[in-house]
Amino acid sequence: MTLSCKRFLFRMFPYFLLDTFSRAVENPTHQVKGILGGSVLFPANISQGITVEKMEWDFYPQSGGLGFWLGEFSHGKLEHPSPTDRFGQRLDMVNETTLKVKDLELDDSGIYNARIWFMKSRFQEQSFSLTVYEPVPTPQMLHQEVSNTLEGCNVTLQCQTPGREEHKVSWERGNPSRALESSLDEFQLSDSGRQLHVFWNTIPFDSTLTCLVSNPVSEKRASFDLSHICSSIGGEQCIFIQSCCLGSYIAYTLWGFKERHSYMQAPLLTCLLTSVRENSVLLEDCPDPSELLLLLLPPPPTPR
């Protein structure tokens, strides 16, 4: 049996003996969340005006196995029985009632019990349940285009995260992002919320969809702009239609111009043909083309 285990059993033995004639005040377990590599505090709740004689801490790992004694704090000093154990120098007392654990590891998850002694026969127990989480990795957005038309496009987006830890996945839209609402024409979630099937009607605004991956201590986002894939086919068709409309308008305008002003072309053409055929009319005698063009200009505005 190791020395630390013997000390733990030796320390625990008086508590069983005191069970019948000691007065222990029990409190609910406090939930504490930490992030890998960070630090957490376990502040014991002590009423004002009460003098604390000493505090003892022990730990029961979440992964199972025997618990062990962390140390005793009294007279402003933390006595850590085995500085070479898995906690090493990562334990510290911030004040006389608060324990701090630094450089958190995943195996630090578990129950931390504080035993606060007020006098030799009276103590209070408080428990802290610590869960250590890994930082959320940056998600990746994958897309699969189903169909693309002038009315809109059907797209399937997938939010992927590496690692083995389960994360909460939610979706946002717009920039700045806000919660995904039913204002989208149609959307559907699958694969525990990791896949989003959406119909987008190619409206320029609100084309950005964001995948939010989170756990209780951190979160990361990844965004995708639907216009990058939904405007390719629809945009080309739209440009083609606009070109056709513009060409039709120009053709109609030129046709109307020819019908309205053909009488102006006749004198000039007749004069030129006659001068060439008969060689009897001087070109100087023909109407000036610039004068004909002036007739096409709109009249100046009437002064008021």
Q: Which of 85, 129, 80 is nearest to 109 (CA)?
A: 129
Which of residues 103 and 68 earns the better pLDDT score?
103
The pLDDT of residue 134: 93
Half-sphere exposure of residue 299: CA atoms within 13 angstroms, side-chain side: 3
The pLDDT of residue 229: 83
Same domain, 129 and 11: yes
Identify the CATH number of the domain in which residue 176 sits: 2.60.40.10
Mean pLDDT, to the nearest integer, of 12-35?
A: 60
Same domain, 23 and 94: yes
Give CA–CA dist 149/172, Å, rounded.
Answer: 24
Q: What is the mean pLDDT of the chain?
A: 74
- What range does the domain containing 151 cover? 140-232
Query: Which of 115, 133, 151 represents a domain boundary (last residue)?
Result: 133
Give CA–CA dist 9/19, Å, rounded.
Answer: 16
Q: How is residue 18 written in tokens?
A: 């005191």
279 occurs within a structural domain: no
Give CA–CA dist 123/46, Å, rounded.
Answer: 11
**Residues comprising the chain, all counted:** 304
Query: Which of 133, 149, 174 represents a domain boundary (last residue)?
Result: 133
Give CA–CA dist 91/94, Å, rounded.
Answer: 10
Q: How is residue 62 written in tokens?
A: 């979440």
CB atoms under 10 Å from CB of 131, counted, come to: 17
268 occurs within a structural domain: no
Same domain, 106 and 151: no
In the chain, the percentage of residues whose pLDDT exceeds 70 is 62
Give CA–CA dist 88/107, Å, rounded.
Answer: 14
Position 16 pLDDT exceeds 60: no
Which of residues 43 and 237 earns the better pLDDT score?
43
pLDDT digits (tens, 9 = 90+) for 151-161: 788 899 999 98
Same domain, 10 and 113: yes
Query: Which of 216, 232, 248 represents a domain boundary (last residue)?
Result: 232
Count: domains in the chain:
2
Mean pLDDT, to the nearest integer, of 229-257?
A: 51
Which of residues 251 and 133 earns the better pLDDT score?
133
What amino acid occupies position 209? L
**pTM score, whole prediction:** 0.63
